[in-house]
Amino acid sequence: MSDRAALLKGIRGRLVFFVVCLVLSGATAFPLVHELRWTEDVLRSLSVGDHLPALMDWIERVRLGLDTADADYPFLLYGTDWLAFAHLVIAVAFYGPYRDPVRNIWVVEFGMIACAGIIPLALICGPIRGIPFWWSVIDMAFGVFGVIPLYLVRQKIKRLEALTGKSVIEGAPTPSPSL
């Protein structure tokens, strides 16, 4: 296998992994009410409350809030439908770098910026919305773990760019490094 083919395979494999995670993350926002009931039942059956009472208290509180919203104000859950949709739309954008990584490296960099943006969002909005700090840390982990495959993809794209001699900017030749 040529260096170019190996780089493309690595880039595409990591992109597929990232997109699958993004789609799964988004798709889970649709059935929140049922997922949370199921999660609470599973955690109770595993006696998680005996070891992590704060987690069980939080899960119960969120489930109660979702049950109330679902019963009395179901339109509020429409916001999570849009959240799910946004995940799916962003996932589609990664078809560009899958198809032509060098030309569409900007999508990968956009994804990295979005992952970085999760951290200030969680740190600012979490306290405003009454989210426990430890839950905000879990949310921030999505940004940290999301940026890893994107960073690796970006590195491979840069190597591919150097190998092919094409610049990201309008296919211009990459300047030779001066010594």
| Residue range 113-171, pLDDT digits in tens | 999 999 999 999 999 999 999 999 999 999 999 999 999 999 999 999 999 876 655 55
Q: Helices (DSSP H) in 73-104: which residue ranges? A: 78-93, 95-99
Return the SS3 of 73: coil
- Return d(Cα 67, Cα 69) in angstroms, integer: 6
* pLDDT exceeds 80 at position 47: yes
- pLDDT tens readout for residues 4-35: 999 999 999 999 999 999 999 999 999 999 99
Per-residue confidence at 105, pLDDT binned at 50, 70, 90? very high
- Provide the whole-model pTM: 0.84
Which candidate, 81, 107, 100, places its Cα nearest to that of 19?
Answer: 107
